[in-house]
Amino acid sequence: MDTATHMLRTGRRGPLFEVQMALRDLRASGERIDLAWSLAWHDVVSRYRGSILGPLWITLSMGLMVLGIGVLWGELFRVPVQTFIPFVAVGIVFFGTVTTTINEGCDTFVQAAGMLSQTSLPMLTFVWRTVLRNLVYLAHHLVIVAGVLIYFGYWTTANYPIAALGLFFLVANVAWISMLVAIVSARFRDIPQIVQSITQAAAIMTPVFWLPDRIPARYHLILDLNPFYHLLEAVRAPLLGKTVAAHTYLFLAAMAVVGWALTFALFANTRRRIVHYL
Amino acid sequence: MKPPPLKAPPVSITCRDLTLRFPVYGVDAKSLKKHLAKITVGGKLGRHHGATDVTAISHLNLELKAGDRLGLIGHNGSGKTTLLRALSGAYEPDEGSIEVQGHIAALLDLNLGIDPTATGYDNIRLRGRIAGLSSKEVDARMDEIAEFSGLGPFLAMPVKTYSAGMQARLAFAAATAVEADVLLMDEWIAVGDADFQKIAHKRLLKLVERAGILVLASHDVELLRLYCNKVMRMEGGVASAVTDIKKLDELLAA
């Protein structure tokens, strides 16, 4: 049994102590990452219990969306299908992972209320649960990406190691955003609605369904300052055989560092209160 | 009941000057404060850092070692369950400290982590994982748990198809399949039909005997006399001294 054989809980002893306790939670959640994995897997299995295709249903509907948008919008924007469908396919799949991980982050602690209020499980376990669950879904959707890349011949020019690096940056950033909204949503129940509005707006403002080079130069700030654009571009560009701009990595690295620092500081500060929010 | 032999790292519970306040968000209890402070149900309402809060436990000191079976008595809302949850590690103290040596098993809510759409087997697995068992350990205990539950082929069916009694059997079998040095219980658990209650009782007793420390909150005085050797009374978040169970009547009269 790997539950704590020694448990110490104390009152506040200054900010440094709170950070130490938060780090301890982080370490404990890392040691029990298999528990987060079990919970995530259970979520995936139970959501699609009784359905024959299971999670492939979202893959299927996503595939139809890719096809529809790829063909119709490609025609509207006068972009050849060969370039537009792969662009939209990769975009929808990875942007979907970004938005659902963030949206579902709102429920992370709210859903775990029962367990949090009577066990000493690390709180971050539930953050990893949400992230891992969405990575499982992503694994399903990669079928679309693989299919499109192979069909349109991009698989020969795709740079997989760089795409994997991009995925790392994507997950590193999405994880802190998911955790941030988890904490804030536990306290203020209006946050999930706000988060959903933001991710919805992001879907329109970010080049998922439209090509970034179509935007006039004077509006380029929409791309340069859009974190979602950089998240997406780090994975999409290498898969489509393009290079990723250096400032995208810079942006993502800075965002990860600052984001994690802020989120972790918030976590250290609210950790003992979160269970009472629920 | 004889105290069990001492285990390698000594099992113990130490609470020092433990104070727990529950912030109440979105409610301004200011106007109710004066009234509520006088009644015996619930903790004390007050304000800290601008938010209304309830002092659920105030300056509690507790020292338990292997062999101690502590009964908790007190009105509804006197802080018994809060204390149990704090001992399980779920709540962080606002002041003071809690230190527990040994594996903790909290049988506070049997339905913890039960997913009605999942099968009996899946639920046992999930519950075991939450309780801190590895997948292998759960698998190793699966046969024993399945047999004890007496649910047989139903374990492969979703829990939502179970009757309430069957669900309780499953939850009980899964929840008690742990090894614990420190056992926390909110009321003695009695589930199922007459036959099952008998074997459930035996299983629970075994668990209690194996555990170094038992903390049992109950309103049933006779039950406490039966299973506990010490008793503590909670009132409005304030705990009495830990006294011998033989002095339970004096404690109740006080």
| Residue ranges per structural domain of chain A | 29-41+54-277
Show residues of chain B in contact with A117, CB under 8 Å: 85, 90-91
Residues A83-89: contacts with CB under 8 Å, at least 24 apart: A84/A211, A85/A148, A85/A152, A86/A148, A86/A149, A86/A152, A86/A154, A86/A240, A87/A211, A87/A236, A87/A240, A88/A208, A88/A209, A89/A144, A89/A145, A89/A148
* A9 → closest Cβ in B23, B97, B179: B97
Show residues of chain B in contact with A1, CB under 8 Å: 103, 132-133, 137, 178-179
Residue B48 has a pLDDT of 57
Residue A3, pLDDT > 50, answer no
Show residues of chain B in contact with A275, CB under 8 Å: 90-92
**How crowded is the C-beta side of A241, counted as CA atoms within 13 Å?**
10
Query: Taking residues A18-34, what's their average pLDDT?
Result: 89
Residue A153 has a pLDDT of 87
Residue A2 has a pLDDT of 37
Bridge partners of B55?
Answer: B21, B44
The nearest CA of chain A is from the CA of B122 a distance in Å of 8
Show residues of chain B in contact with A273, CB under 8 Å: 23
At residue A172 the predicted structure's pLDDT band, cuts being 50, 70 and 90, is very high
Suggest the residue from B15, B62, B91 to mutate for an interface test with chain A (most A CBs closer than 10 A): B91
Q: Hey, is the C-beta of B131 within 8 angstroms of any chain A C-beta?
A: yes
Domains and CATH numbers, chain B: 12-103+228-253 (3.40.50.300), 112-214 (3.40.50.300)
Q: How far apart are CA A143 and CA A51, in angstroms?
A: 19
The reply to whether residue A49 touches residue B158, judged by beta carbons under 8 angstroms, is yes
The reply to whether residue B118 touches residue A187, judged by beta carbons under 8 angstroms, is no
Residue A90, pLDDT > 60, answer yes
B191, B200 contact by CB (below 8 A): yes
Suggest the residue from B17, B24, B130, B182 to mutate for an interface test with chain A (most A CBs closer than 10 A): B130
Of B22, B72, B77, give the one whose Cα is nearest residue B52.
B22
Show residues of chain A in contact with B95, CB under 8 Å: 11
Q: Residue B49 burial (CB < 10 Å; 0-12/13-18/19+)?
A: exposed
Torsion angle, CA of A11/A13/A17/A19, rounded to 10 degrees? 70
Show residues of chain A in contact with B118, CB under 8 Å: 42, 45-46, 49
DSSP chain A: --S-SEEEEE----HHHHHHHHHHHHHHHHHTHHHHHHHHHHHHHHHTTT-SSTTHHHHHHHHHHHHHHHHHHHHHTT--HHHHHHHHHHHHHHHHHHHHHHHHHTTHHHHTHHHHTT----THHHHHHHHHHHHHHHHHHHHHHHHHHHHTTGGGT--HHHHHHHHHHHHHHHHHHHHHHHHHHHH-TTHHHHHHHHHHHHHHHSTTSS-GGGS-GGGTHHHHT-HHHHHHHHHHHHHTT-PPPHHHHHHHHHHHHHHHHHHHHHHHHHHHHHHHH-
Residue A161, pLDDT > 70, answer yes
The reply to whether residue A11 touches residue B93, judged by beta carbons under 8 angstroms, is yes
The nearest CA of chain B is from the CA of A78 a distance in Å of 48
The nearest CA of chain B is from the CA of A174 a distance in Å of 26
Q: In what order do the strands lie in the sheet with B95-101?
A: A6-10, B95-101, B12-23, B51-65, B44-48
Lowest mean per-residue pLDDT among A216-220, A248-252, B65-69, B95-99: A216-220
The reply to whether residue A11 touches residue B158, judged by beta carbons under 8 angstroms, is no
Residue A121 has a pLDDT of 87
% pLDDT > 70, chain A: 99
The reply to whether residue A3 touches residue B94, judged by beta carbons under 8 angstroms, is no
The reply to whether residue B113 touches residue A12, judged by beta carbons under 8 angstroms, is no
Q: Hey, is the C-beta of A34 within 8 angstroms of any chain B C-beta?
A: yes
CA angle B93, B75, B190 (to 5 degrees): 95
Q: What are B181-230's pLDDT values in tens digits?
A: 888 888 887 777 888 888 888 888 888 888 888 898 888 888 888 888 88
Residue B5, pLDDT > 60, answer no
Highest mean pLDDT among A147-151, A255-259, B85-89, B156-160: A255-259
* B134 → closest Cβ in A2, A6, A12: A2
Q: Hey, is the C-beta of B182 within 8 angstroms of any chain A C-beta?
A: no
Show residues of chain A in contact with B109, CB under 8 Å: 114, 118
At residue B29 the predicted structure's pLDDT band, cuts being 50, 70 and 90, is very low
HEC sequence for chain B:
CCCCCCCCCCCEEEEEEEEEEEECCCCCCHHHHHHHHHCCCCCEEEEECCEEEEEEEEEEEEEEECCCEEEEEECCCCCHHHHHHHHHCCCCCCEEEEEEECCEEEECCCCCCCCCCCEHHHHHHHHHHHCCCCHHHHHHHHHHHHHHHCCHHHHHCEHHHCCHHHHHHHHHHHHCCCCCCEEEEECCCCCCCHHHHHHHHHHHHHHHHHCCEEEEECCCHHHHHHHCCEEEEEECCEECCCEEHHHHHHHHHC
Of A118, A45, A136, give the one whose Cα is nearest residue B106.
A118
The reply to whether residue A1 touches residue B99, judged by beta carbons under 8 angstroms, is no
Show residues of chain B in contact with A29, CB under 8 Å: none
Q: Hey, is the C-beta of B85 within 8 angstroms of any chain A C-beta?
A: yes
Residue A110, pLDDT > 80, answer yes
The count of CB pairs under 8 A between chains A and B is 115
Whole-complex ipTM: 0.78
Query: Taking residues B28-50, what's their average pLDDT?
Result: 54
Residue A98 has a pLDDT of 95
